[in-house]
């Protein structure tokens, strides 16, 4: 039987408490929001202040950093880091093994290739 809550200590000794998401079993901070219809893979993390909207999909090993927003129907592949304060728009797709820098906005409907490095200076257009 899986534990409902997990606690993880960071490098400074701070502890973040997570709950297992009902759809996929991913770890969601008690200070984050994840819609029940979103899928969050068991080895993914959603940090405090982040939000995952309805129908979004978060892949294995992905990390949704503090204050990030994943909009409805967005897809985040496996082993992706969505930086602090990022927004991934509705229906956008971020390919596996990508890194999105803090504060970056990926507009709705955009497709980011796997193994990409996206910074705030990139211009993403449909």
In a domain, 46, yes or no: yes
The CATH number given to whatever domain includes residue 101 is: 2.160.10.10
Q: What are the strands of the beta sheet with 15-20, ordered from one edge?
A: 5-9, 15-20, 27-29, 45-46, 63-64, 81-82, 99-100, 117-118
Is residue 126 a part of any domain in this protein? Answer: no
Kindly report the pTM of this predicted structure: 0.90
124 within domain boundaries? no
Q: What is the pLDDT of residues 21-79, one digit of tens each?
A: 999 999 999 999 999 999 999 999 999 999 999 999 999 999 999 999 999 999 999 99
Q: Answer yes or no: is pLDDT of 102 > 60.
A: yes
Query: For the chain, what is the domain count?
Result: 1
Q: Which domain holds residue 34?
A: 5-117
């Amino acid at each position: 039987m899986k534990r409902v809550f997990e606690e993880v200590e960071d490098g400074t000794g701070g502890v973040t408490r997570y709950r297992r998401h009902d759809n996929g079993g991913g770890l969601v901070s008690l200070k984050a929001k994840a819609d029940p219809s979103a899928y969050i893979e068991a080895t993914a993390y959603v940090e405090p202040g982040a939000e995952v909207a309805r129908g979004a999909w978060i892949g294995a090993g992905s990390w949704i950093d503090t204050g990030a927003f994943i909009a409805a129907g967005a897809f985040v592949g496996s082993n992706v880091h969505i930086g602090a304060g990022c927004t991934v728009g509705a229906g956008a797709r971020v390919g596996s093994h990508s890194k999105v820098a803090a504060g970056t906005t990926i507009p709705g409907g955009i497709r980011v290739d796997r193994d990409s490095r996206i910074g705030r200076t990139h211009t993403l257009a449909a």
